[in-house]
Amino acid sequence: MRAHAWQNYRTKDGTTPSAAGVEQLGDMLVVNVAPGCEYFTVRDDAGHSFRCSFCGYGRFDKRSQTMGQVRGQVDLDAALLGRLEEVLRVAAESGEARHV
Protein backbone atom coordinates (compact mmCIF):
# COMPACT_ATOMS: atom_id res chain seq x y z
CA MET A 1 0.00 0.00 0.00
CA ARG A 2 1.25 3.49 -0.81
CA ALA A 3 2.64 5.78 1.87
CA HIS A 4 0.06 8.18 3.28
CA ALA A 5 0.73 11.90 2.78
CA TRP A 6 0.96 12.52 6.55
CA GLN A 7 4.18 10.51 6.58
CA ASN A 8 5.89 13.50 4.93
CA TYR A 9 4.85 15.75 7.81
CA ARG A 10 7.53 17.03 10.18
CA THR A 11 6.67 18.41 13.58
CA LYS A 12 7.62 21.95 14.60
CA ASP A 13 10.92 20.60 15.92
CA GLY A 14 11.56 18.57 12.74
CA THR A 15 10.60 15.13 14.02
CA THR A 16 9.33 12.44 11.65
CA PRO A 17 6.01 10.73 12.39
CA SER A 18 7.74 7.45 13.26
CA ALA A 19 10.07 9.22 15.72
CA ALA A 20 6.94 10.79 17.20
CA GLY A 21 5.50 7.30 17.76
CA VAL A 22 3.17 7.02 14.77
CA GLU A 23 3.64 4.56 11.92
CA GLN A 24 1.64 3.36 8.95
CA LEU A 25 0.91 -0.32 8.59
CA GLY A 26 -1.13 -0.82 5.43
CA ASP A 27 -4.25 1.30 5.94
CA MET A 28 -3.75 1.34 9.70
CA LEU A 29 -2.14 4.00 11.84
CA VAL A 30 -0.09 2.45 14.67
CA VAL A 31 0.58 4.52 17.79
CA ASN A 32 3.29 3.46 20.19
CA VAL A 33 5.17 6.09 22.16
CA ALA A 34 6.67 3.68 24.67
CA PRO A 35 7.81 0.57 22.80
CA GLY A 36 10.23 -0.56 25.50
CA CYS A 37 8.65 -3.04 27.92
CA GLU A 38 9.77 -3.16 31.55
CA TYR A 39 9.01 -6.90 31.71
CA PHE A 40 11.14 -7.73 28.74
CA THR A 41 14.58 -8.08 30.29
CA VAL A 42 13.72 -8.69 33.95
CA ARG A 43 14.36 -12.23 35.15
CA ASP A 44 13.44 -14.13 38.29
CA ASP A 45 16.03 -15.87 40.48
CA ALA A 46 15.88 -18.96 38.26
CA GLY A 47 16.64 -16.88 35.19
CA HIS A 48 13.16 -17.01 33.66
CA SER A 49 12.09 -13.86 31.86
CA PHE A 50 9.03 -11.95 33.07
CA ARG A 51 8.10 -11.03 29.54
CA CYS A 52 4.93 -12.49 28.03
CA SER A 53 5.78 -15.81 26.42
CA PHE A 54 4.43 -14.89 22.99
CA CYS A 55 6.14 -11.54 22.74
CA GLY A 56 9.17 -10.63 20.65
CA TYR A 57 8.30 -6.97 20.53
CA GLY A 58 9.04 -4.97 23.65
CA ARG A 59 12.80 -4.76 23.71
CA PHE A 60 14.35 -1.43 24.73
CA ASP A 61 16.11 -0.55 21.50
CA LYS A 62 16.71 2.26 19.03
CA ARG A 63 12.96 2.94 18.74
CA SER A 64 12.56 3.53 22.46
CA GLN A 65 15.77 5.59 22.58
CA THR A 66 14.55 7.75 19.69
CA MET A 67 11.46 8.61 21.69
CA GLY A 68 13.47 9.32 24.83
CA GLN A 69 12.04 6.39 26.75
CA VAL A 70 14.12 5.58 29.81
CA ARG A 71 14.01 2.17 31.45
CA GLY A 72 12.38 2.33 34.88
CA GLN A 73 10.88 5.75 34.25
CA VAL A 74 7.15 5.54 33.64
CA ASP A 75 6.36 9.18 32.88
CA LEU A 76 6.85 10.17 29.27
CA ASP A 77 8.46 13.40 28.12
CA ALA A 78 5.82 16.12 27.63
CA ALA A 79 7.50 17.11 24.36
CA LEU A 80 6.93 13.57 23.08
CA LEU A 81 3.21 13.84 23.76
CA GLY A 82 3.12 17.24 22.02
CA ARG A 83 4.74 15.77 18.90
CA LEU A 84 2.32 12.85 19.00
CA GLU A 85 -0.64 15.23 19.08
CA GLU A 86 0.76 17.20 16.13
CA VAL A 87 1.18 14.10 13.98
CA LEU A 88 -2.19 12.60 14.89
CA ARG A 89 -3.95 15.87 14.08
CA VAL A 90 -2.36 15.99 10.60
CA ALA A 91 -3.02 12.28 10.01
CA ALA A 92 -6.66 12.63 11.05
CA GLU A 93 -7.14 15.65 8.79
CA SER A 94 -5.73 13.69 5.83
CA GLY A 95 -8.45 11.06 6.27
CA GLU A 96 -6.22 8.36 4.80
CA ALA A 97 -5.95 5.94 7.70
CA ARG A 98 -8.93 3.58 8.00
CA HIS A 99 -8.27 2.59 11.60
CA VAL A 100 -5.89 3.13 14.53
Question: What is the contact surface with ligand SF4 in residues (CB under 6 A)?
Answer: 37, 39-40, 51-52, 55, 57-58
Query: What is the 8-class DSSP label of residue 13?
Result: T
Shortest Å distance, C-beta 21 to ligand SF4: 15
Residue 60 near residue 71 (C-beta atoms within 8 A)? yes
DSSP character string of 51-68 = S-TT------SHHHHHTT
Q: Which is nearer to ligand SF4, 57 or 89 (CB)?
A: 57
Shortest Å distance, C-beta 94 to ligand SF4: 29
Q: Which is nearer to ligand SF4, 41 or 94 (CB)?
A: 41
Shortest Å distance, C-beta 11 to ligand SF4: 26
